[in-house]
């Protein structure tokens, strides 16, 4: 039997949901962006990220479960969703998706995130995948501060500080 060739994988990064499992607007926006990208790349597969964590999911089920439920509810066939990882942050998103991506021998990944998260996510994924020949691209949802469901200014400050800390650590190595 021949191994099915997958030209690329869309990785949808997690974002908060309520304790009842309702996705926050940012998570829904990322899902919608993932759907848009899948429609542009119908031979690609999808990998979802998100397990449990105080800062994004304290519900009974992993965050990726709610992402999958949303996507299939919007018409994405279950077999399109290749896998998920039980990550708790962006560093784990990159490190836990990498072995799955490498296993499928794809040449391209498209990471779906939010505009405010791009710089740090790009840095983390480029570092994590630097020893591969996988091309990394990003597709970003626009975040509306009035509807995002959290303190966007505070989140942007967190992103900037976290990126600075990561870059500082890498320079010391």
Average pLDDT taken over every residue of the chain = 91
**156 in a domain, yes or no?**
yes
**76 in a domain, yes or no?**
yes
Asked if the model's pLDDT at residue 9 lies above 60, the reply is yes
- More confident call, 74 vs 169: 74
What is the residue range of 110's domain?
8-172
Share of residues in the chain with pLDDT > 70 (%): 95
For 70: left if phi > 0, alpha if psi spans -120 to 50, otherwise beta; the answer is alpha
**Predicted local distance difference test score (pLDDT) of residue 1:** 40
CATH of the domain at 88: 3.40.50.620
Contact between residue 40 and residue 140 where contact means Cβ atoms under 8 Å apart: no
**124 in a domain, yes or no?**
yes
Share of residues in the chain with pLDDT > 90 (%): 76
Asked if the model's pLDDT at residue 137 lies above 50, the reply is yes
**Domains of the chain: total:** 1
**3 in a domain, yes or no?**
no
Query: By mean pLDDT, which of 71-75, 87-91, 116-120, 146-150 is the weakest?
Result: 146-150
**1 in a domain, yes or no?**
no
- The string over 153-172, giving b where at least 16 C-beta atoms fall within 10 Å of a residue's C-beta and e elsewhere, is eebeeebeebbeebeeeeee
**165 in a domain, yes or no?**
yes
15-64: pLDDT as tens digits: 999 999 999 999 999 999 999 999 999 999 999 999 998 888 899 999 99
What's the token pair of residue 131? Answer: 């020893």
Closest by CA to 94, choosing from 105, 109, 115, is: 109
Query: By mean pLDDT, which of 7-16, 92-101, 143-152 is the weakest?
Result: 143-152
- The pTM is what? 0.90
**58 in a domain, yes or no?**
yes
**163 in a domain, yes or no?**
yes
- More confident call, 121 vs 156: 121
């Amino acid at each position: 039997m021949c191994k099915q060739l997958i030209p690329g994988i869309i990785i949808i990064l997690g974002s908060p949901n309520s304790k009842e499992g309702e996705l926050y607007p940012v998570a829904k926006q990322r899902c919608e962006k993932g759907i848009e990208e899948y429609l542009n790349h119908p031979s690609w597969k999808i990998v979802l990220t998100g397990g449990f964590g105080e800062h994004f999911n304290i519900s009974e089920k992993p965050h990726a479960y709610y992402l999958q439920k949303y996507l299939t509810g919007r018409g994405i066939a279950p077999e399109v969703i290749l896998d998920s990882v039980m990550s708790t942050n962006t560093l784990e998103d990159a490190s836990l998706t990498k072995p799955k991506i490498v296993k499928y021998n794809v040449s391209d990944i498209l990471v779906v995130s939010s505009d405010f998260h791009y710089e740090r996510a790009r840095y983390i994924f480029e570092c994590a995948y630097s020893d591969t020949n996988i091309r990394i691209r990003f597709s970003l949802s626009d975040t509306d501060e009035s509807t995002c469901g959290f303190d966007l200014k505070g989140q942007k400050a967190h992103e900037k500080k976290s990126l600075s800390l990561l870059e500082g650590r890498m320079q010391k190595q």
